[in-house]
Amino acid sequence: MEGVDHLADERKKAEFNVEAMKIVWAGSQHNLEVSNRISKLVADDPAFRKDDRTMLPRKELFKNTLRKAAYAWKRINELRLSEEEASKLRFYVDETAYTDLHWGMFIPAIKGQGTDEQQRKWLPLAYKMQIIGCYAQTELGHGSNVQGLETTATFDPHTDEFVIHSPTLTSSKWWPGGLGKVSTHAVTYARLIIDGKDHGVHGFIVQLRSLEDHRPLPGITVGDIGMKFGNGAYNTMDNGVLRFDHVRIPRNQMLMKVSQVTREGKYKQSDVPRQLVYGTMVYVRQRIVADASCYLSRAVCIATRYSAVRRQFGSQNGGPETQVIDYKTQQSRLFPLLASAYAFRFVGEWLEWLYTDVMQRLQANDFSTLPEAHACTAGLKSLTTSVTADGIEECRKLCGGHGYLCTSGLPELFAVYVPACTYEGDNIVLLLQVARFLMKTVSQIGTGKQPVGTIAYMGRIEHLMQCRCNVQRGFAELSADLVEAAVAHCQLIVVSKFIEKLQQDIPGEGVKQQLEALCGIYYLSLLHKHQGDFLATSYLTPKQSALANDQLRALYSKVRPNAIALVDAFNYSDHFLSSILGRYDGNVYPKLYEAAWKDPLNESVVPDGYHEYVRPLLKQQLHTARL
Ligand SMILES: CCCCC/C=C\C/C=C\C/C=C\C/C=C\CCCC(=O)SCCNC(=O)CCNC(=O)[C@H](O)C(C)(C)COP(=O)(O)OP(=O)(O)OC[C@H]1O[C@@H](n2cnc3c(N)ncnc32)[C@H](O)[C@@H]1OP(=O)(O)O
Ligand SMILES: Cc1cc2nc3c(=O)[nH]c(=O)nc-3n(C[C@H](O)[C@H](O)[C@H](O)COP(=O)(O)OP(=O)(O)OC[C@H]3O[C@@H](n4cnc5c(N)ncnc54)[C@H](O)[C@@H]3O)c2cc1C
């Protein structure tokens, strides 16, 4: 049956131009062309094989990751790939590695918080990977509470140096990716102490390892923090522990764009808000939102294709059984996730725009949109990662028993993704930041200030205008409800950005109609889920609510014939998906059968351990044997 497309009939049902939808998903014809070229480059190269990842012991797994990262770098240079192409290549290699932190946080931290001179010194080295860096903020004792970090950087005016020190066990840096075994340098966050005065947390570039023999420099204790959740998954990363024993660095290694320490030991603050020290986190949160749709769409692609292949019950007169995708229950779990994948794609595009806009304003000393940018990046990071992590798990269940096999690709996808709910800000902690922003907005409406941007709608809610609220009073007591309000606010942003996307000119036969159906599914399924809230607040009557549910079911039927084509539009290769259930050709059963025999346990018919542990049981003489 090799070469047969088992999903061909499904593909024929499509009522829209799939190639045009691929462009919408990719963002542009150019993006699609780059993605196609780079994804093929990776898929065709056996050096990027990853189907054995969940079976490798940690040391082998990690060495393999180092090999792949080095090989990827070699190819990037040989082929003279642009920055855009190189980052696409890392994306399609699809293996979490120290390079993510080097390119994703170390370099952005220097760019965002270093002076021009510091950038001129450090960035060329980092771009050529002559130094490798990580982002060392979190400690054993504190992650969320950044102001609670304990590592100190004490200025020594005699030598013009900072002394970096870990005064307690809980001040040990703990978690930074790339730190454990690879990084030569770290942007390290520490409390700046001058003349006994604590000036709060600042970033410093600290060299950790020798560039000659990779051994830790004097005063540095560093290692890996151990195995993490799942096989393969995030264990390709060397999340690390780090302690400093009075390590000295030159004064000019404090990142000094936001605040400076002079030769005389004077602390000076630029005219920019001190929150810019948190700028790298804002950047990465924005990137995480842009990435969420990739992870969710990947799981949805697997579950949708498999749901069309899988048949269970309903045979009539000896005919084929029903494809499980035709069950309304399956559709009501799967299609809202398909719609969410598209919704997150568009909100991710918008957030990228917002971030660029804020950065341009900051250049011109306009800091007015920073609080909104913080609330949007924090809130959307929280919403999209939570829905994506839960969505991957739901897709596993949608694939029944076979979804639990590593060869379905879903267990590893979940294990590698789920920490996104925690890293770069615990999702609840981030929603509390959004809630605080919303409460602040309400208190300002009371004083007559008109809200703009993503909170403009609050100015149109009559009863909010009468509200007089103090941000702190009752906040902690009501925080669980406020978190729900923050989620609703973020969902509103996603819905409105989806609707704005539909107002654009979208070429391709039937493409816009499909997106309209998905947008409807997105907001109607949310309305259905939160029906109780809408009814309790009289925003909906029971009749409207029932009509909304009817409409939702009608949209499921509309999307059903297009489902396979809608996931084909993600344009994922079989190599990237790495899932037998999600194969493009739907040839699931023979491949599952074949893969089972490749498991190391099947290398011998009689397993290791039989003679020691099984045979004695079978041969034992028990009293009960006589019974
Ligand atoms: C496998 C999937 C990968 C997908 C990623 C793809 C691409 C990404 C690319 C590269 C990245 C590579 C890999 C990614 C993977 C893993 C990396 C993980 C790295 C980390 O995991 S790295 C550590 C991150 N660790 C945190 O994430 C800590 C969370 N904890 C905080 O972030 C703060 O600690 C907070 C906010 C909770 C409290 O802080 P606080 O106590 O100082 O503040 P407070 O609440 O008092 O706020 C005072 C005033 O600052 C404002 N404010 C606060 N934050 C702001 C900001 N960022 N910008 C602008 N304004 C801000 C407030 O709104 C308020 O404003 P106002 O006064 O006006 O109300
Ligand atoms: C895979 C992975 C990679 C990471 N990579 C890096 C890295 O490269 N660099 C780096 O510096 N760090 C990194 N981290 C650390 C990460 O950023 C922190 O773990 C994260 O910010 C959460 O902080 P925490 O661990 O202190 O959680 P905690 O704050 O201890 O959370 C524990 C619980 O307390 C709750 N909670 C905390 N504060 C509040 C509050 N104010 N109100 C209500 N509830 C609250 C949380 O919701 C959570 O349920 C990584 C973490 C992981 C898992």
For residue 241, give the ligand nearest its CA.
2
Tell me if 568 sits within 8 A of 18, measured CB to CB: yes
Query: What is the enclosing helix (H) or strand (E) of 189?
Result: strand 185-194
Atom of ligand 1 nearest to the CA of 234: 1
pLDDT of residue 417: 98
Q: How far is the CA of 143 from the centre of ligand 2 (A)?
A: 5
How confident is the model over 471-518, as pLDDT tens digits?
A: 687 899 999 999 999 999 999 999 999 999 999 999 999 999 999 999
Q: Which domains occur in the chain, in start order? A: 1-49+276-439+493-620 (1.20.140.10), 131-275 (2.40.110.10)
Is 95 among the residues known to form the active site? no
Q: Which ligand is nearest to the CA of 444?
A: 1
Which pLDDT value is given to residue 272?
84
Residue range 122-164, pLDDT digits in tens: 999 999 999 999 999 999 999 999 999 999 999 999 999 999 9
pLDDT for the residue numbered 420: 98
Which pair of tokens denotes residue 165?
């020190």
State mean pLDDT over 576-599.
Answer: 97
Q: Side chain identity at 371, as an amino acid letter?
A: P
616 CB neighbour count, 10 Å cutoff: 10
- Residue 2's pLDDT band (boundaries 50, 70, 90)? low
> If you average pLDDT over every residue of the chain, what do you get?
96
What is the C-alpha to C-alpha distance for residues 300 and 396, in angstroms, rounded to an integer?
A: 9
SS (H, E, C) 29-40: HHHHHHHHHHHH
Q: Which of 175, 433, 439 to mutate to test the pocket of ligand 1 (most atoms within 8 A of CB)?
A: 433
Considering only 198-212, 273-287, 569-583, which range has the smallest mean pLDDT? 273-287
97 CA → ligand 1 middle, Å: 22
pLDDT tens across 343-375, in order? Answer: 999 999 999 999 999 999 998 999 999 999 999
Nearest CA among 267, 275, 113, 300 for reference residue 196: 267
pLDDT digit string (tens) for 5-56? 999 999 999 999 999 999 999 999 999 999 999 999 999 999 999 999 999 9
Residue 123 Cα, ligand 2 centroid: separation in angstroms? 29
SS3 call for 430: helix
Residue 405 CA to residue 400 CA, distance in Å, equals 10
> CA torsion sign, 445 to 449 to 453 to 457?
positive
- Which atom of ligand 1 has the smallest separation from the CA of 440? 69
Give, using CA atoms, the residue closest to atom 44 of ligand 2.
429
The CB of 135 under 6 Å from ligand 1? The reply is yes
The proportion of the chain whose per-residue pLDDT surpasses 70, expressed as a percent, equals: 98
- Ligand 2: residue of 138, 282, 484 to mutate (most ligand atoms within 8 A of CB) is 138
User: What's the gap in Å between 425 CA and the centre of ligand 1?
Assistant: 6
Residue 355 Cα to ligand 1 middle (Å): 14
Q: What is the pLDDT of residue 470?
A: 65
At 446, phi and psi to the nearest 5? -55, -30
Is 230 touching ligand 2 by the criterion CB < 6 Å?
Answer: no
174: pLDDT confidence band, cut at 50, 70 and 90?
Answer: very high
Flag whether pLDDT at 274 surpasses 90: no
**What pairs with residue 133 in β-bridges?**
185
Catalytic residue among 424, 477, 484, 516: 424
Residue-wise pLDDT tens digits, 536-561: 999 999 999 999 999 999 999 999 99
Pairing of strands 185-194, 152-156: parallel
Q: How many CB atoms lie within 10 A of CB 269?
A: 11
d(CA 134, CA 205): 10
pTM comes to 0.97
pLDDT at 1: 45
Residue 161 CA to chain centroid, in angstroms? 37
Give the mean model confidence (pLDDT) for residues 589-608: 97
ipTM at complex level = 0.98
151: left (phi over 0), alpha (psi -120 to 50) or beta: beta
Ligand 2 pocket, residue 226 CB under 6 Å: no
- Angle, to 10 degrees, between the axis of helix 328-363 and the axis of helix 542-559? 90
* Rg of the chain taking only CA atoms, in angstroms: 27
608 phi and psi angles, rounded to 5 deg = -55, 135
Using one digit for the tens of pLDDT, what is the confidence trace for 435-476? 999 999 998 887 888 899 999 999 888 777 676 666 687 899
* Three-class secondary structure of residue 323 per DSSP: strand
User: What is the average pLDDT across 286-305?
Assistant: 98
**Is the CB of residue 131 below 6 angstroms from any atom belonging to ligand 1?**
no
At which residue do the structure tokens 């994506």 appear?
388
